[in-house]
Amino acid sequence: MNAKIGRRIGLALASLVFVLYILAPVAWMVSSSFQNEAEITSKPPHWIPHQPTLENFAAIFQADKEVTYETRRQGDTATGGYIPSTAKNLLPAMWNSTIVAVMVVILNLLVSIPAAYALAKIRFVGRSSSIYLMLTTRVIPDIALVVPFFLFIRKLGLMDSLSSLVITYLAITVPFSIFILVSYFEGLPDELDKAARVDGCSRLQTLLHVFLPLALPSLVAVVLFTFLTSWNEFLLALMFTQTPASQTMPIVVASFTSDFTISFSFINAAGVLAIIPPVILALMFERYIVSGLTAGAVKG
């Protein structure tokens, strides 16, 4: 009994340490977004703001005034009033990130769902090798694909456009999405497919009316994976976008650190805005996440 209680206490303490390790940076970012620059750089630092302020968030929504070399040179970050010259690009970049993520999610589902159903329920020559070939593409590091992607996008004339990001993100997300869905579809009884075919359903009708309603947990996992990948991706967005018209949020937030000086509180406020959509999405589909990620892991 004592050993059992000791294991439970040890497990609880280990879980607490792990949770603190994961959440501490997020908690500090949220806390510092409500502090001015003098407070955030004080020693020792404090987790709870002594004088909470919304000036950092107000600056994001009012960052439309002209920022010149002189105003940057005179800017004092300790006052909390400093605004980076690229601050006005933050909200448009957030909109660009939303457009890209939503487009990638929709197109990813349109491609991966029929492909996964075909690979799981239709027997044809080369079926297994096709699955392993798609997974092999994810073994290659993304940085090794930058040059081929760059040449491909430039040949299409899509440089500095959201379309370039949609195309490259699909190449990254579709193979893994198909793998998740194939595992789930294979876990569903073949008798469902046969019964639907006997009742006169076509392959498309069988997919839409029989398998998709049962595959909701795996679809949620695919949507979350695709959305988060597209929302957070930095390297390809840095390569293919050069102007504010097409830059996404990670690129604009990173540009805040390359200005004349740095406002940590302003960057953290931008970071808080950046994590809101993924957090809302995760909370909406929280009950499907674990079941979706483990879908197809056990058959029978």
| Domain boundaries defined on the chain | 1-35+47-52, 87-299
Dihedral of alpha carbons 110, 111, 116, 122, sign: positive
pLDDT the model gives residue 134: 78
Query: What is the spatial distance between Cα 250 and Cα 233, in angstroms, rounded to a whole number?
Result: 7
pLDDT the model gives residue 295: 53
Return phi, psi of residue 98, to 5°: -65, -45
pLDDT the model gives residue 69: 41
Q: Which residues contact 5 (CB under 8 A, 6 or more apart)?
A: none
Q: In 10 A of CB 89, how many CB atoms? A: 22
Q: Which residues contact 282 (CB under 8 A, 6 or more apart)?
A: 224, 289
- Report DSSP letters for 66-79, one per residue: ---HHHHHH--GGG
Tokens of 122: 């239709």
Query: What is the spatial distance between Cα 161 and Cα 153, in angstroms, rounded to a whole number?
Result: 10
**pLDDT truncated to tens, each residue of the chain (300 aa)?**
677 888 888 899 999 999 899 888 888 888 888 887 778 877 887 788 888 888 778 777 765 555 444 444 444 444 445 667 777 888 889 999 999 999 999 999 999 999 888 888 887 777 777 877 877 777 788 788 888 888 989 898 888 899 999 999 998 899 888 888 888 888 888 888 888 888 888 888 888 888 888 888 888 888 988 999 999 999 899 889 888 889 999 998 888 876 556 777 778 888 898 888 888 888 887 776 665 555 544 444
- pTM for this model (two decimals): 0.82
Q: Say if CB 248 and CB 97 are below 8 A apart.
A: yes
The CATH number assigned to the domain with range 87-299 reads 1.10.3720.10
Query: What is the spatial distance between Cα 236 and Cα 253, in angstroms, rounded to a whole number?
Result: 15
Q: Which residues contact 42 (CB under 8 A, 6 or more apart)?
A: none
pLDDT the model gives residue 293: 54
CA 248 to mean position of chain CA atoms: 12
Q: Say if CB 208 and CB 249 are below 8 A apart.
A: no
Strands (E), 20-65: none
Phi-psi domain of 66 (left: phi exceeds 0; alpha: psi -120 through 50; beta: other) = beta
DSSP 14: H
Query: What is the spatial distance between Cα 63 and Cα 73, in angstroms, rounded to a whole number?
Result: 17
DSSP 161: S
Identify the three-state secondary structure at position 297: coil
